[in-house]
Structure 1
């Protein structure tokens, strides 16, 4: 009666000591003269346990479960005598609680089928019911007759305790009327086992069934005190007939993974294979992600489990699609030091797994259906892997630190294997010959490697090229900094090999968004793609819809982008009708003048050349507006006659001649010597006295120009 004053930890320790002392008594101490003493000891222990439960009041269920948990630890002993005594104690304890307690007295809703809308307090819930049913069912298959008898009796009392139904007595009579009890009954396969599970089905929660299946899986290990066939049968029945919550699916996969190395019986391995396939069919995401968590580097145990799943085509298809999804889930916005919370590391695990399972016969049949998607996903994965932090690599690789394949090499190797198994051996060798695979391994040369791979893949059949084009268009519709640069580099290679029809419009729709991208090098890359298209006569005119977006690139401050944009605009102006080109030329002239002083020689030359072209394109009333732009450009062009780059100086001279003809200024049109530039500056001021302040402002930036010759001429002009 004083036991309730003890702390739970101290109480459990004392109870454990009692069980240990009594259950480990030598068998001879329970026979002959000592039998009476042994019986008195058991009676005293029963009395103590009953007092503990009674004194707990409304927490009696909680106290009962604490004691049962301790008893189960002894029931799992390798010593048959300890196991038999622990099971007998469980049977007596459950019998006591059945005859003394009514669960409705504690909480009327315990039998949740009666009052489903009410949820018991945790202290009133018999949460270990499933675990107890699973263990006792398996104990009914033990070799020891008395253990089987006690387990069957405990199941009877447990059922009565749960539902207070007398119909369970028929099972007890069946169990106890035969020498081999449940073990013999299960020799006829599953009828009785199914009956036991069905008797408890409406009283057990999903978590209880999960507990039972976890117990059954652990019982498949060799050596086992139970019948492995019965445990395997339990796994089959439970997996086939019950839906498990996501968290429980993860637990089941982890339990299979943890116990598989010790499971050698063929019947047990086949049962686990069936279980994995059923779970994967119903919960593909949970099963695949859980197994990736178990072994990110795909060790021998994980490979065995993947092969179990791949033995059925439908399941293999689902697994591959889940792996594909995880490969694409490389979000840079969510990082963590935990594998569970880091999709970047999980996508690495998916890559390694694909690398290991691609050669499986069933896998090969299904890979063909998703080859283009899988190919692109691996390509993006290679790029993403080059950006991994050292910490992430260490997290991923902690399981097999001695492995010779680094994450990046594993990703590249997976792509090689994929191409080979799909019949692209020649392409693999050609990429190798051009240094493509090595280039992919380095952040400095990675994009060059992507170009080489893309170029070689464009030598495949048109259906595959077209599919890759469509997939890339779809992917690039949404910006994702994780892989958009790699996707666009590859897309540029695709653009050069596709015979467009109506599909060109889908590609052109992408470019405005990526011309505005903050990703370094993206606008230049897109502009080069547009430039390629403007040079293809059959489709060049279609690119004119992009002209306003290309013109915006002249004001972005990126010299490399401006250089390509100028070439694109030059091509586009030649494609336009006269009237349209006139208005565009006028709008363009104002944007070109600031580029005359760009730090890049190419930009200075191209902008001056294009300005010269615009003067020849304006017609009608727009000529008058264009004159203002030309007058404003004369001084910068005169200064650039002294540009250190000869091509820029020459372009300036030719542009000034064109300007002279456009303005009908003969001396300017006949300008042939640089030495004449100074006199032309004086004449300019004489002709446009009203613009003296404007010219002064124009010349001032040249005082900071890196070229000494231009600074000197600006000073001279001022």
Structure 2
């Protein structure tokens, strides 16, 4: 049994030691055993070089971060102590270890928490002001705010921007409010200038993105405060031709950062928002103007090319900027922007059409006018611009805004038809509130749609030709589906896209859109434009593409007058026959059912042409009646019945209605003996069908014809023997046995005359 631990550890230890002493005479035990108690852990920062100079500030900080209860006075003391500690350390050059101290006791996180706890409906204490001062000093300590600046600034902005408007504040709070804003501006400048050279662009970009988000707020006071801070940052860019970064090996590249080295990917977005607010009716206009002026200084300073540019810069940045309209302002800045930056300006204008924070909707319209006048310069990124238009449409609050967006979209369609149509299809298929308008818009451009559809069909044809030249295909019906092949092509991001054609992936959207459009009368009226491309896709497209084309054709044909539908039906039958043997059962069924519909559409002279076409469908339909998929077999029977109606073939119709299916093959041969050779050639490929039922039906039908060919040494007889030989070893015993019997009949000598009745002779061959 396991020994239980003693209830009195000290006594047990002594007893155990005594027993060991008898066994180990050399072991000396202590004369007494002292019990010590745990003392509370005392935080010690005496290791800091600055500790001797600012012991009181350090102790105040430690007391605050460890105290569970934090009074308002303690918060103020904590923030003031941070400012004192950092300022003194920088002054005496004793910053060693200070970044570790700040991180260990989470000074930045504590400041952020204090800001988030402050009420947003009033300004009652100077805690916000003290927080800005503390953060400003912390930013000068190496790595103290590394990776934390953006979240801290978001807390600062939220804490101040959401305060009541200045005119709504009590007069007693105005002085503190202005002092808080000034400390925030000073902190912003210091934070930006303290970033290492390698991170200035990235960090400045992040801060500006935060501020731009606030300019979209519905509250005017929030927009005004955010715009004023943007003004501060743009002044930093313009006032300093070099931004001095701290020289510290741990902070990356040190030394001056020239304005030309500062890269702002959001420059175009920033410029667009500044132009919008510069010409607005609200208080943000003044701050936006100053920010725009400062941004112009930065752009011209960093992108001057020659003396002529210098003269132009002086003209623009002195007095002309004050009198420029929104349109002229965009044109002036556009000369110095890169292509993606001009695109961002246009994206901002498009977004502003549905932005409640933009009170004067004439300003974004003016910016779009610039793009409409010079599309080769401003409208180069079609996917981004078109996507932005489509996203903004649900938010266009006025008819004028909608019409402006539609005009821009039509221009983009002329310039980039494929991109626009694909994105239109994608947006319309999402089924939001603008879907009816988008379908209407697409319906109004049938020539463009038809051209893109034919481009896609040509792309598929080229891909099909390329694949066919890479090597011979194996058995046509037993080979794997081409669906995987097209999916592989779809993974190639730029298949033919450089030539203006849709790639395989995006063209799927086009086909889905085509199905949606086919339900509208506009497409039915212009079906002749679409037919060439649709016919090509039925020939070389993937199974999914063919399904969509058939669905679209079904929808269109049901809307057409019977005379027009009859003409198209005759053209379409030949494209349907290869689809009967698709590996996709849904495509087999859809194509067979569509044939039945087409046979009922023909009228007048088209009936004669259709009868010639339908003879080619009889043998495939006969075999598909044995399809293992019940719905395909049923559709085949119904299509054969429709063919019998068209051919006025009473016997065939009678057999189908009585379901005497075993007599159908003999009926076909009795009706047209001259077609026996054609029937043979149509039947041979089905000997390789993946389905045993279909192979069996093909062997049985060929067996019916063998008596007619026994006395003839023809090419067909040789082909039959060659095709039947592998089936003698078929895994399905019904197929193998019937194939062996048919081969035997073909090879045996003729010993008797052919019976008078062909039908009776053929029935003798039926098992």
Which category describes the TM-score, using the shorter chain as reference length? 0.5 to 0.7
Alignment counterpart, residue 528 of structure 2, candidates 352, 356, 368: 368
1:439-588 aligned within 5 A: 446=590, 448-456=592-600, 558-567=695-704, 584=718
Aligned to 1:218: 351
| 1:97 aligned counterpart, secondary structure | helix
Is the Cα–Cα contact under 8 Å of residues 297 and 353 in structure 1 kept in the other structure?
A: no
1:368–1:422 CA contact under 8 A, matched in 2: no
* Residue 196 of structure 1: aligned partner: 332
CA gap of 1:598–1:221, structure 2 versus 1, over 3 A, is: closer
- The equivalent residue for 1:152 is 289
Decide which of 236, 242, 253 is 1:96's aligned counterpart: 236
Of residues 123, 128, 134, the one that matches 2:272 is: 134
Q: 1:301 to 1:615 in 2, by over 3 A?
A: farther
Does residue 45 (structure 1) correspond to residue 184 (structure 2)? The answer is yes
C-alpha spacing 1:204/1:292, structure 2 compared with 1 (3 Å) = same
Q: Give 1:237-636 correspondences, 5 Å limit.
A: 237-238=370-371, 241=374, 249-294=382-427, 296=429, 298-318=431-451, 321=454, 332-333=483-484, 353-358=513-518, 363-371=523-531, 373-374=533-534, 384=544, 414-424=552-562, 446=590, 448-456=592-600, 558-567=695-704, 584=718, 599=734, 607=743, 609-612=745-748
Q: Retained in 2: the 8 A contact 1:298–1:349?
A: no
Displacement of 1:281 in angstroms is 3.5
Q: How far did residue 129 of structure 1 move?
A: 0.6
The more displaced of 257-266 and 556-565 is 556-565
Deviations 1:508-550 (A, max 9, x none): xxxxxxxxxxxxxxxxxxxx9xx99x9585x988999x69977
Is this contact kept in 1: 2:511–2:545, CA < 8 A? Answer: no
Question: Is the 1:88–1:151 contact (alpha carbons within 8 Å) kept by the matching residues of 2?
Answer: yes
Distance 1:581 1:412 in 2: 37
Tell me if the contact between 1:143 and 1:225 (Cα under 8 Å) persists in the aligned partners: no
1:167 corresponds to:
312
- What residue number does 1:697 align with? none
Task: Identify, as 1 or 2, the structure richer in helix.
Answer: 1
CA distance in structure 2 between the aligned counterparts of 1:247 and 1:298, rounded to whole angstroms:
28
Whole-Å separation in 2 of the counterparts to 1:240 and 1:345: 33
Q: For the structure 1 residues 588 and 80, does the alpha-carbon distance in structure 2 shift closer, same or farther, using more than 3 Å as the test?
A: closer
User: Within 5 Å, which residues of 2 pair with 1:629-668?
Assistant: none
* Structure 2: distance between partners of 1:581 and 1:609: 17
CA contact (8 A) 1:358 1:417 kept: yes
What is the CA deviation profile of residues 615-645 of structure 1, one whole-angstrom value per residue up to 9, with x for unaligned ones?
899xxxxxxxxxxxxxxxxxxxxxxxxxxxx
Say if 1:351 and 1:459 are closer, same or farther in 2 by CA, change over 3 A.
Answer: farther
Question: CA 1:331/1:562 → structure 2, altered by over 3 Å: closer, same or farther?
Answer: closer
Alignment check: 8 A CA contact 1:457 1:465 kept: no
Q: Is the 8 A contact 2:215 2:227 kept in 1?
A: yes
Q: Return the match for 1:67 from 207, 219, 241.
A: 207
1:133-181: per-residue Cα shift (whole Å, max 9, x none)? 111111122112x522332332222122123156345345556655xxx
Shift of 1:220: 0.6
SS at match of 1:63: helix
* Residue matched to 1:520: none
Shift in Å at residue 276 of structure 1?
2.4
Distance in 1, matches of 2:279 and 2:492, equals 38
SS in 2 for 1:421: coil
User: Unpaired runs of 5+ in structure 1?
Assistant: 112-119, 387-407, 473-484, 498-527, 618-645, 653-706, 708-718
In the TM superposition, what is the alpha-carbon distance from 1:66 to its structure 2 partner? Answer: 2.1
The CA distance in 2 between the partners of 1:16 and 1:345, in whole Å, is: 40
Contact 1:277 1:309 in 2 (8 A): no
RMSD: 6.1
**Cα separation, partners in 2 of 1:586 and 1:263, compared to 1, 3 Å:** closer
* Per-residue deviation, 1:611: 3.8
- CA contact under 8 A between 1:84 and 1:147: conserved in structure 2? yes
Cα distance in structure 2, aligned partners of 1:7 and 1:27:
31
Gaps of 5+ in 2: 1-136, 245-254, 302-309, 464-480, 494-502, 570-575, 617-631, 645-664, 754-759
Deviations 1:71-109 (A, max 9, x none): 21222222223323322332232122212134898777x
1:78 aligns with 2:221: no
CA pair 159-361 structure 1, distance change in 2 beyond 3 A: farther
Contact 2:331 2:370 in 1 (8 A): no
CA distance in structure 1 between the aligned counterparts of 2:761 and 2:343, rounded to whole angstroms? 79
Residues 464, 366 of structure 1: alpha-carbon distance in 2 compared, 3 angstrom cutoff? farther
TM-score calculated relative to the size of structure 2? 0.52
Counterpart contact for 2:721–2:743, Cα < 8 Å:
no
- Aligned partners of 1:29 and 1:38 also within 8 Å: no
- Map of 2:119 onto structure 1: none
Q: 2:148 aligns to what SS in structure 1?
A: helix
Contact 1:222/1:262 (CA < 8 Å) preserved in 2? yes
Cα distance in 1 for partners of 2:686, 2:321 equals 92
Q: Provide Cα deviations, 1:9-57, integer angstroms capped at 9, x if missing partner.
A: 6322332333344443542499988776655444432221121122113
TM-score w.r.t. length of structure 1 = 0.55
8 A contact 2:684–2:698 mirrored in 1: no
Q: Identify if the C-alpha distance between structure 1 residues 422 and 254 changes in structure 2 by more than 3 Å, giving closer, same or farther.
A: same
Residue 501 of structure 1 is matched in structure 2 by none
1:230 to 346, 359, 363: 363
